Amino acid sequence: MPVSRERKEEIVAKLAEDLGKAQAIILTDYRGVPTAELAKLRLDLRGMQSGLHVVKNTLVELALKRAGMPVPEDLLQGPTAMAFCYRDIAGPARAINEFLKDKNIKIKGAILGGSILRGAEANALANLPTRDQLFGRLLGTLNAPGTQVAGVVASGIRQVLYLLKARAEQLEKQGAAA
């Protein structure tokens, strides 16, 4: 049953809104993937604060133009599923890559910060560290100088304590010998 013009406008408006909120959009083929498995992937992505939409390429093109984003016409060939990464990019990209790996389907490309990524560049998103891992690294880097200073101070105190202990032992030996 054909979709009415009003409904198409609603879809384009919703897509444009989602595109404006997303940090990255991952485009992939979904041929041969059962609907039930796509629904499971949607649920997995929803848990990562992401979304997956299957929409006609012409509507995606209109939404991209409306959102002021580049239109990768070569990536919008054939059936296309779009994953919207709202918070983290690496987690959803990794989940999509794992999901598609056993189905012998590859990620077509991605749109990241107004740039179009194709092939290996888009697949590299799955190898990025997650947002939480990056925060952990940042905190470790920020914490390292403080930890080093504490180690140096503790080392100085430790040396004074060892010196006092050695002197006390020396005095005990002298007292026992007398």
Residue 97 belongs to domain spanning: 5-128
Predicted confidence (pLDDT) per residue in 60-118, tens digit: 899 988 888 888 888 888 888 899 888 888 888 888 888 888 787 778 888 888 888 88
Number of domains in the chain: 2
Residues 144 and 113 in one domain: no
Q: Which two tokens stand for residue 52?
A: 């997956």
Residues 82 and 120 in one domain: yes
Residues 119 and 164 in one domain: no
Mean local confidence (pLDDT), 161-169: 89
Contact 109, 27 (CB under 8 A): yes
Q: How confident is the model at residue 178 (pLDDT cuts 50, 70, 90)?
A: low
Tell whether the model's pLDDT for residue 139 goes beyond 70: yes
> Which residue in 92, 93, 57 sits closest to 75, CA to CA?
57
Map the chain to HEC letters.
CCCCHHHHHHHHHHHHHHHHHCCEEEEECCCCCCHHHHHHHHHHHHHCCEEEEECCHHHHHHHHHHCCCCCCCCCCCCCCEEEEECCCCHHHHHHHHHHHHCCCCCEEEEEECCEEEECHHHHHHHHCCCHHHHHHHHHHHHHHHHHHHHHHHHHHHHHHHHHHHHHHHHHHHHHHHC
Mean local confidence (pLDDT), 130-149: 80
* CATH number of 22's domain: 3.30.70.1730
* Mean pLDDT, the chain, whole residue set: 84
Residues 21 and 108 in one domain: yes
Residues 172 and 85 in one domain: no
